[in-house]
Structure 1
Amino acid sequence: MGVITYDMEVTSSIPPAKMFKAFVLDADHLIPKILPQAIKSVEVLQGDGGPGTIKLITFGEGSQFKSVKHKVDGLDKENFTYSYSIIEGDALTGSLESISYEIKISASPDGGSICKNTSKYHTKGDSQITEEHIKSGKEKASGMFKAVEAYLLANPDAC
């Protein structure tokens, strides 16, 4: 098994606490509302939202995938960090054991926030992941972050 690691950074004008609440804590309800074509629903299968929680994510009509199970690995509300892993589902494309993500939202000098995301693709055997696959994942994650930002800007009383 190999591990391929990619880092991504996205900035926002939204302060870190509000962005973390929307993008992480309220995401199960907020993202299907904002981006139903991407995420149709999120169902908690076990747990209370903290580490060890297992969720079933059902993708929307616009997705090439049907669903994944994701496990919460860590959640630190004070430091705005969140980590989770995709442990099952067709997004693993048969060549991946899992994909783990670490998200950290911190303050930017202008009062907004910087979201740093590290993705680790755990491949099966000597499977390879294409640059195109990684780029597609980064674009979707960035698009989701920007959609949440746009929602918060249009709805200042939300979250």
Structure 2
Amino acid sequence: MGVQTFTDDIKSPVAASRLFKAMVLDADILLPKIVPEAIKNVQVVEGNGGPGTIKQINFPEGSPLKYVKHRVDALDKENMTYAYTVVEGDALMGKVDSISYEFKLSSAPDGGSIGKNVSTYNTKPGVEIKEEEIKAGKNMAEGVFKAVEAYLLANPDA
């Protein structure tokens, strides 16, 4: 098994606490409402939302993905960090045993936020993932992030 890691940074004019609440704490309810074209629904399969919880994200018909299951590894509301691992589903592409994500939001000096996402791909023996192969997933994730950001900017009381 090989390990490949990719890091992405993103800035937002939305305060870190609001963005963390929407992207992590309220994501199961908000994301299907904000981006129904990207996420059909999120179901808790096992657990209470904290570490060890298994969630299944179902994608709408016509999407290149049908579903993914991920396990919550860590959730720290105070430090605005969230870690989870995709353990099953189409995102593994038949080439990857698991994908782990570590997401951290920090407050920016201008009142907005700075996000950092570290993706670690645990590939099957002899497999190397090229960044181009994960570009569609990155683009989808960035699109969801920007949609949530736009929603929060348009709804200051949300």
Amino acid at match of 2:33: K
- Name the structure 1 match of 2:33: 33
Deviates more, 1:59-68 or 1:112-121: 59-68
Between the aligned residues of both structures, percent identity stands at 62
Amino acid at match of 2:48: D
Instruction: Tell me whether 1:140 sits opposite 2:143 in the alignment.
Output: no
Q: Distance in 2 between matches of 1:82 and 1:117?
A: 10
**Count of residue correspondences:** 158
Q: Distance in 2 between matches of 1:104 and 1:149?
A: 16
Structure 2 gaps of 5+ residues are none
Q: Distance in 2 between matches of 1:63 and 1:128?
A: 25
Q: CA offset at residue 124 of structure 1?
A: 0.6
Amino acid at match of 1:49: G
Deviates more, 1:132-141 or 1:113-122: 132-141
Deviates more, 1:130-139 or 1:120-129: 130-139
Q: TM-score, normalised by structure 1?
A: 0.96
Structure 1 gaps of 5+ residues are none
- Name the structure 2 match of 1:151: 151
Per-residue CA shift, 1:113-147, capped at 9, x if unaligned? 01100000110111121221222222222111111
- Name the structure 2 match of 1:23: 23
Per-residue CA shift, 1:30-66, capped at 9, x if unaligned? 1111111111010001111000000111012352010
Q: Distance in 1 between matches of 2:43 and 2:109?
A: 36
Residues 15, 107 of structure 1: 8 Å contact kept: yes
- Name the structure 2 match of 1:45: 45
CA RMSD of superposed structures (Å): 0.9
Q: Distance in 2 between matches of 1:5 and 1:130?
A: 11
Per-residue CA shift, 1:78-103, capped at 9, x if unaligned? 00000001000122111100100000
Q: Distance in 1 between matches of 2:93 and 2:118?
A: 20
Amino acid at match of 1:102: E
Query: Per the alignment, in what secondary structure is the counterpart of residue 40 of structure 2?
Result: strand
Q: Distance in 1 between matches of 2:145 and 2:83?
A: 16
